[in-house]
């Protein structure tokens, strides 16, 4: 790569050298997007939003090979996307998986609500009369709308999943067809793996597919006893994941309150100690966000899988075929993205990784 560029501003915004590869750019963007988000800088929301938008623009250009080439040759004026710059909040929504996983998990509500609340927090507050009553009615309406949207999301994902599985279930299911089906899913998984947190999402989806397929198939034999046992184990795993998610959220709140208290009391922290505490808090926020995202993903996958496997309008033989196909997809996803144990401070370490110095 030619390391010369007529304008270094975007590289400086992303804190990467001009010869940085895509992975370095993506990692730095991911780290900075969390640090610079307006929600983390409430003292000056307008400036924070502008900085966040500039970060998104820099990433949009430098993550696109053609736009990056144009930028290096002609500067910012020569590297404007045809459709214009996307809103920075849309880039933040792609933190876990982006668009590539949409056929499997739909749009993640957790990140959508997080971005929504952050956008609202940076807007001017307008008082209204009867706040409590109005807020209660608004929450009830929002809850009803969310339930409808969730059902629509699950229905769409069921349709997508049945279509994928039909590549095998609507054939003679011979050995050659089975091998071709596995290879197709493997190639798709290899692409998905390259997305942000792609391996983690593949593992969450694949393990849930295997779990639901196993529960269904075991419920068809031994009077359903094995299926009942698998279902109980799955419930135990769900409780464990729920507790882990709650604990992470509590840790974030506790750490945030401690940091705020230290600020109020005028703690004589050094600049380095203050920055270290802020990084630790941001790491815990990201960790809690990921655990919440994984919890949402697995819950949606459970609902979708059960709906297509326990459909009373479909012949039993076809349901069994679906379960076998689902099991194959789960196995492929796990083979491409085996589970990796993360250290408790993994996300803090991610944020602490220093980008290379500028050239």
- Name the burial class of residue 325, with classes exposed (0-12), middle (13-18) and buried (19+) by CB atoms within 10 angstroms of its CB: buried
For the chain, the C-alpha Rg in angstroms (whole number) is 23
Q: What angle do CA 60, 61, 66 make, to 5 degrees?
A: 125
Q: What is the pTM of this model?
A: 0.63
Helices 109-121, 271-309: inter-axial angle, 10-degree rounding: 140
Q: What is the DSSP string of 165-187?
A: HHHHHTS---HHHHHHHHHHHHH
Q: What is the DSSP string of 36-56?
A: S-GGG-TTSHHHHHHHHHHHH
pLDDT along the chain (359 residues), means of 10: 78 93 84 72 75 87 89 83 56 65 86 53 42 64 81 95 97 96 96 84 94 89 51 52 54 59 61 68 70 87 96 96 97 84 52 39
Q: What is the pLDDT of residue 249?
A: 57
Of the options 1.20.120.420, 2.70.150.10, 3.90.1300.10, 1.10.287.110, the CATH number for the domain spanning 9-93? 1.10.287.110
Q: What is the pLDDT of residue 322?
A: 97
Distance CA 348, CA 275 (A): 12
> Between the CA of residue 352 and those of 105, 274, 278, 292, what are the distances in Å?
30, 14, 11, 22
Helices (H), the chain: 9-14, 22-35, 45-62, 65-74, 88-93, 102-105, 109-121, 131-169, 175-193, 198-219, 225-264, 271-309, 316-336, 346-352
**Closest to 181 in 3D by CA, of 193, 197, 196, 165:** 165
Q: What is the pLDDT of residue 310?
A: 93
**Closest to 241 in 3D by CA, of 185, 301, 181, 282:** 301
Q: What angle do CA 206, 284, 30 make, to 5 degrees?
A: 70
| Domain ranges (residues) in the chain | 9-93, 148-352
Q: What is the pLDDT of residue 207?
A: 93
Place of tokens 């900085």: 51
């Amino acid at each position: 790569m030619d390391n010369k560029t007529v304008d270094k501003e975007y590289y400086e915004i992303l804190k990467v050298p001009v010869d940085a590869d895509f992975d370095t750019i993506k990692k730095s963007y991911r780290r900075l997007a969390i640090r610079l988000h307006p929600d983390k800088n409430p003292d000056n929301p307008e400036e924070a939003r502008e900085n966040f938008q500039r970060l998104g623009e820099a990433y949009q250009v430098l993550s696109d090979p053609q736009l990056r080439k144009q930028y290096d040759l002609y500067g910012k004026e020569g590297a404007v996307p045809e459709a214009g710059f996307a809103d920075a909040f849309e880039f933040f929504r792609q933190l876990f998986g982006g668009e590539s996983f949409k056929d499997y998990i739909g749009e993640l509500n957790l990140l959508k609500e997080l971005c929504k609340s952050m956008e609202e927090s940076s807007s001017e507050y307008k008082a209204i009369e009867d706040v409590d009553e109005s807020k209660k009615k608004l929450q009830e309406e929002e809850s009803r709308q969310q339930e409808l949207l969730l059902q629509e999301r699950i229905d769409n994902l069921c349709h997508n999943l049945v279509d994928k599985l039909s590549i095998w279930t609507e054939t003679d299911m011979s050995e050659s067809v089975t091998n071709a089906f596995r290879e197709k899913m493997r190639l798709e998984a290899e692409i998905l793996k390259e997305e942000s947190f792609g391996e983690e999402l593949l593992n969450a989806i694949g393990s849930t597919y295997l779990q639901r397929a196993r529960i269904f198939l075991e419920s068809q034999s031994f009077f359903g006893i094995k299926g009942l046992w698998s279902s109980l184990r799955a419930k135990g795993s769900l409780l464990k994941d729920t507790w882990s998610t709650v604990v992470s959220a509590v840790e974030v709140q506790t750490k945030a309150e401690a940091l705020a208290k230290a600020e109020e009391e005028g703690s004589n922290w050094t600049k380095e100690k203050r920055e270290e505490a802020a990084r630790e808090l941001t790491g815990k926020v990201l960790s809690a966000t990921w655990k919440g995202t994984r919890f949402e993903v697995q819950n949606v996958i459970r609902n979708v899988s059960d709906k297509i496997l326990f459909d009373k309008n479909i012949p039993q033989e076809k349901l069994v075929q679906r379960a076998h196909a689902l099991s194959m997809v789960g196995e492929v996803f796990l083979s491409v993205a085996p589970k990796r144990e993360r250290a408790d401070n993994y996300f803090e370490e991610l944020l602490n990784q220093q980008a290379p110095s500028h050239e």
